[in-house]
Amino acid sequence: MGDHGGAGGSRRRRTGSRPSSLGSGGPAAVAEEVRDSVASPDVGAGGDARALARDKNGDARVGSGPLELRCHRLQDSLFSSNSGFSNYRGILNWCVVMLILSNARLFLENLIKYGILVDPIQVVSLFLKDPYSWPAPCLVIVANVFVVAAFQVEKRLAVGTLTEQAGLLLHVANLVTILCFPASVALLVKSITPVGSLLALVAYTILFLKLISYRDVNLWCRQYRAKAKTASVGKKASGDSTQGTISYPDNLTYRDLYYFIFAPTLCYELNFPRSPRIRKRFLLRRLLEMLFFTQLQVALIQQWMVPTIQNSMKPFKDMDYSRIIERLLKLAVPNHLIWLIFFYWLFHSCMNAVAELMQFGDREFYRDWWNSESVGYFWQNWNIPVHKWCLRHFYKPLLQRGNSKWVARTGVFLASAFFHEYVLSIPLRMFRLWAFTAMMAQVPLAWIVGPFFQGNYGNAAVWLTLIIGQPMAVLMYVHDYYVLNYEPS
């Protein structure tokens, strides 16, 4: 109930943020007057000539006493809609402060409850069961075989010693093996850990997508070469002379292929845009970020997610729905924070570091998905390498073959759902289709969010599905894995 009367410092700001539609000159001028007298302490209480002189408009109450007596004026409260006031800038700061405080409390509560659980050594056990057997790195090294195979096929196709049909057959065989070989190894070799197997499968998936792109682009080049030959033999000479760029058969070198394999993109191109030099300070910053965020992710998972997930097993078993929801919401916060850190770590730190090292020029690994107002916009903008690949090697070819946009779109989601299931089910050795369902659910979700939520509401809906959807899937998998492996049957 106490107010302090000094009006010095913040007067300027208050005047700036005052409602502009108040009064019609008369009262506003009086208000200005009152505020002036507040600011200048020399104005006495016994009547002020200057104020009297100015008070010409409306009902002058000279008879009722000195102007000092007037301290009210006809006006609305700011929350009343006809006050015209709309400056709620402070609310954003309020949100930020409340968020930080609530999560500081959660973090402190967690520390009190569980003590410090962070243990970097423990992480090693995720990758290694038997220290004399390293199945996952071996798998990744073996992947080179498939790279060489694809290269040899392309080499023979370029000089014509292999027909297009035979080339296609060999490529398909190679690509199918890329998917089946690591899967069977992961399922059969007992010493492989789920995390090691997951990483190996992700590496093979990336290779699979890259080799499809490599094959497609080389095929397009051959088609173009054939067209150019038949159409205009004369024009060809001038086109080929562009200096510094590589044209079709010259690109078929191991050096070129391996550059593509390690480059942070899934789409092959004969002449990648290159950055002029390696910026050492930029690279160092990215490397430090990689190191720091890796530590942070491990610490958050160990300290925050694991205990929360462990606590969720009982409600899940008892099918206690209100507790399941409570656990889900509790898991949502650390899960979402870790996902955000993971996003930054992978798409900004890691990819930029690799690109800087390789002088790879195109750094658009993500677009502004945080502003997405529809589910579609999110999927098109959060993971640009995959989005670009899908567009170039899946969506557009499907459209070209006369499929409708709707079919092509669903096809993309189907493929994506397949790969999500592939890299999750095989390492965990259980087939539950949660990841597949989650990906396929994006199609109807886009229908729901699209027309019903627009603008900021659409954006909030996208955030909500991100924040809630992921921990749901995580809980599903962990629960099933727990039941399968640790439950006394």
Q: Which residues have a catalytic role annotated?
A: 420
Q: Which of 402, 401, 403, 440 is nearest to 420 (CA)?
A: 440
What phi and psi values does residue 360 have, to the nearest 5 degrees?
Answer: -85, 125
Residue 361 binds a copy of itself, judged by CB under 8 A: yes
Distance of closest approach, residue 173 Cβ to a copy of itself, in angstroms: 23
Query: How far is it, in rounded angstroms, from Cα 251 to Cα 274?
Result: 16
Q: Which of 152, 203, 209, 198 is nearest to 175 (CA)?
A: 209
Report in angstroms how near the CB of residue 254 gets to a copy of itself at its nearest.
19
Choice between 128 and 434, CB closer to a copy of itself: 434
Q: What is the residue type of 304?
A: W
Per CB under 8 A, 47 contacts a copy of itself: yes
Backbone angles phi and psi of 159, in degrees to 5: -90, -10
Q: Per the structure block, which two tokens stand in for 485?
A: 């492996």
Distance of closest approach, residue 56 Cβ to a copy of itself, in angstroms: 13
Separation between Cα atoms, residue 353 and residue 319, nearest integer Å: 46
Contact characters 410-449, a copy of itself, x per CB under 8 A: --xx-xxx-xx--x---------------x--x-------
**In this chain, which stretch among 138-146, 188-196, 218-226, 291-299 interacts with a copy of itself, using CB under 8 A?**
218-226
What x-and-dash track marks residues 373-412 binding a copy of itself by CB under 8 A? xx-xx-xxx-x--xxxxxxx-xxxx-xx----x--xx--x
Closest to a copy of itself by CB, 5 vs 488, is 5
Interface pattern 273-312 for a copy of itself (x via CB under 8 A): xxx-------------------------------------
290: closest CA among 348, 336, 335, 337?
A: 348
DSSP code per residue over 298-354: HHHIIIIIHHHHHHHHHHHHHT-HHHHHHHHHHHHHHHHHHHHHHHIIIIIIIHHHH
Q: Interface residues for a copy of itself in 230-269 (CB under 8 A)? A: 236, 239-242, 244-248, 265, 267, 269
What type of residue sits at position 236?
A: K
Q: Considering only the stretches 114-122, 292-300, 457-465, 475-483, report the one whose residues sit in contact with a copy of itself under the rule CB under 8 A.
A: 457-465
Question: Which C-beta is closer to a copy of itself: that of 321 or that of 486?
Answer: 321
Q: Does 487 bind a copy of itself (CB under 8 A)?
A: no
Number of residues in contact with a copy of itself under rule CB under 8 A: 160
User: Residues 80-109 vs a copy of itself: string with x where CB under 8 A?
Assistant: x----x-xxxxxxxxxxxxx-xxxxxx-xx
Considering only 336, 341, 432, 469, the residue that binds a copy of itself (CB under 8 A) is 336
What is the rounded (10 degree) CA torsion for 131, 133, 139, 144?
A: 100
Residue 126 CB, shortest distance to a copy of itself, in Å, is 21
Interface with a copy of itself (CB under 8 A), residue from 463, 477, 481, 482? 463
Whose Cβ is closer to a copy of itself: residue 12's or residue 190's? 12
Q: Which amino acid is at 414?
A: L
Q: Which is nearer to a copy of itself, 396 or 429 (CB)?
A: 396
Whether 206 contacts 146, CB under 8 Å: no
Which residues from 51-80 bind a copy of itself, rule CB under 8 A?
A: 59-66, 68-80
Write out the two tokens for 116.
């410090």
Q: How far is the CB of 92 from a copy of itself (least distance, A)?
A: 6
Of 211, 317, 309, the C-alpha closest to 260 is: 211
Residue whose CB is less far from a copy of itself, 75 or 177: 75
Residue 95, H or E segment? helix 90-114
Distance CA 451, CA 56 (A): 57
For 44, residues 6+ apart whose C-beta sits below 8 A from its C-beta are none
The Cα 270–Cα 245 span in angstroms is: 8
Question: What letter would DSSP give residue 69?
Answer: G
Q: Which of 131, 255, 281, 368 binds a copy of itself (CB under 8 A)?
A: 368
Q: Binding to a copy of itself (CB under 8 A): which residues in 137-196? A: none
Place of tokens 């962070």: 118
Nearest distance from residue 25's CB to a copy of itself, in Å? 16
